[in-house]
């Protein structure tokens, strides 16, 4: 019977966990012996007793990874944690392999098969495994709440005996998963929402949520593979800045969500744009972990610039750890159902999901871009 180990996340400040009691029950039925590090789910509201009731064995520390056939976690392991894994084991986690070639090299040295949750292809068959989307959904929701909380004004239109309160005006940059959820949440709170995106194809989705799409010439040409936005040309970005700057100057809150996989976040909001905003306005930068969409963002901090509060919080899903863990754990469960269809590991590299997501196998790095970044020799 293969052993699955879920550690307590070692990344400072991480509140999420890669399994919840409901998924543990499914994994046990699948034929896996599930071990959970004691306290792994405490910060998310999943106590040890609930894991034990679901059929997991509680272990005192992360040393159990040395004997586990499968390790499921949220954040990439450190080099030391990779070196401690059992040779031939399977790792399922976010990996960000281009940015962490030392970890990839360590996994290859140990002969670990590494399945990167951040590399799951965005195809319909893999939607239930798509952890990037599940966590982005939560981040977009939380971003709208953070903006509402930071604003010194109310969100909805209110007709009162003392007079009329006009609704808050939001500009949301990027209509991917996080942006669409931010739109929906801000609209539920009563805000008037305008949305900018380089992909004109998202206009219908934006308008279906009751928001206004900011038209910019040339946007229809900028949708890339997997639904991600391609990097825009300098000419388009200049047109976008001019149009969006006008809307930002009239906004009470701006939420930026633009990311390009494997690249620094594009800079969309300049200091001049921030300076044009009303005193007391708020900017929430969901791209802070990749440098930020606003040039004044300080990753991990809330700063005041030109009378505007700029929120550079990182790991917004970790601010909602109960449901973030629940959704991620279900993503992990579906990956394991894919990899262990009959209780034993089955790696079919003719399958698009396996081929796209397995970064390391058999001591070799399978992805050329990761190998080029210094993660080891390509297969």
SS3 content of the chain, % helix, strand, coil (to 5): 40, 20, 40
In this structure, the chain runs to a length of 379
233 is catalytic: no
Please state at what angle helix 321-339 crosses helix 131-150, rounded to 10 degrees: 170
> Is 127 in the active site?
yes
Distances (CA, A) of 317 to 231, 290, 291, 331: 25, 15, 18, 15
Contact between residue 379 and residue 107 where contact means Cβ atoms under 8 Å apart: no
Contact yes or no for 379/364 (Cβ under 8 A): yes
- 113 backbone dihedrals φ, ψ, rounded to 5°: -90, 115
**What is the rounded distance in angstroms from the CA atom of residue 15 to the CA atom of residue 193?**
31
Q: Which of 35, 37, 93, 133 is catalytic?
A: 133
Distance CA 224, CA 187 (A): 28
Active-site option among 109, 228, 270, 276: 228
Rounded to 5°, the CA angle 214-176-240 comes to 30
Considering 122, 153, 188, 267, which one is annotated as catalytic? 122
Kindly report the three-state secondary structure assignment for every residue of 247-274. HHHCCCEEEECCCCCCCCCCCCECHHHH
> Which one of the listed residues 130, 197, 252, 285 is annotated catalytic?
130
DSSP letter, residue 76: P
Catalytic residue at 130? yes
CA end-to-end span of the chain: 30
The verdict on whether 133 is a catalytic residue reads: yes
List Cα–Cα distances, 134 to 40, 68, 93, 325, in angstroms.
20, 27, 14, 10
3-state secondary structure at position 3: strand
276 as an active site residue: the answer is: no
d(CA 366, CA 104): 11
- Pull the structure tokens for residue 84: 């401690």
Q: Which one of the listed residues 127, 208, 233, 301 is annotated catalytic?
A: 127
Q: How far apart are CA 146 and CA 95, in angstroms?
A: 28
Q: Which residues of 234-267 are buried (b: 16+ CB within 10 A; e: fewer)?
A: eebbebbbeebeebbeebbbbbbbbbbeeeebbb
Residues belonging to the active site: 122, 127, 130, 133, 228
């Amino acid at each position: 019977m293969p052993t699955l180990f879920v550690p307590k996340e070692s990344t400072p400040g991480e509140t999420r966990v890669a399994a919840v009691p409901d998924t543990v029950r499914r994994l046990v039925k699948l034929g896996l012996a599930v071990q959970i590090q004691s306290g792994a789910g405490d910060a998310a509201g999943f106590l040890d007793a609930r894991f034990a009731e679901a059929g997991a064995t509680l272990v005192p520390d992360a040393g159990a990874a040395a004997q586990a056939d499968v390790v499921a976690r949220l954040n990439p392991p450190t080099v030391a944690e990779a070196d401690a894994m059992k040779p031939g084991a399977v790792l399922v986690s976010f990996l960000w392999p281009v940015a962490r070639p030392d970890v990839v090299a360590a996994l290859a040295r140990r002969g670990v098969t590494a399945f990167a949750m951040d590399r799951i292809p965005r195809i319909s068959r893999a939607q239930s495994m798509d952890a990037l989307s599940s966590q982005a959904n939560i981040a977009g929701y939380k971003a709208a709440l953070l903006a509402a909380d930071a604003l010194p004004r109310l969100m909805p239109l209110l007709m009162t005996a003392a007079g009329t309160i006009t609704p808050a005006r939001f500009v949301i940059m990027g209509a991917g998963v996080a942006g669409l959820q931010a739109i929906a949440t801000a609209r539920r709170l009563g805000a008037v929402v305008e949305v900018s995106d380089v992909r004109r194809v998202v206009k219908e989705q934006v308008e279906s949520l009751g928001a206004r799409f900011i038209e910019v010439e040339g946007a229809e040409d900028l949708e890339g593979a997997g639904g991600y936005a391609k990097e825009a040309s300098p000419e388009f970005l200049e047109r976008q800045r001019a149009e969006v700057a006008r809307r930002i100057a009239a906004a009470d809150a701006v939420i930026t969500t633009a990311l390009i996989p494997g690249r620094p976040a594009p800079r969309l909001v300049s200091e001049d744009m921030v300076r044009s905003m009303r005193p007391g306005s708020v900017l929430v930068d969901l791209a802070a972990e990749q440098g930020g969409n606003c040039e004044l963002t300080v990753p991990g901090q809330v700063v005041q610039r030109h009378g505007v509060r700029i929120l550079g919080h990182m790991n917004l899903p970790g601010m909602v750890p109960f449901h973030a863990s629940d959704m991620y754990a279900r993503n992990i469960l579906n990956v394991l159902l894919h990899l262990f269809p009959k209780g034993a590991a089955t790696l079919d590299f003719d399958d698009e999901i396996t081929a796209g997501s397995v970064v390391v196998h058999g001591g070799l790095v399978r992805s050329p871009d990761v190998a080029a970044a210094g993660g080891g020799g390509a297969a």
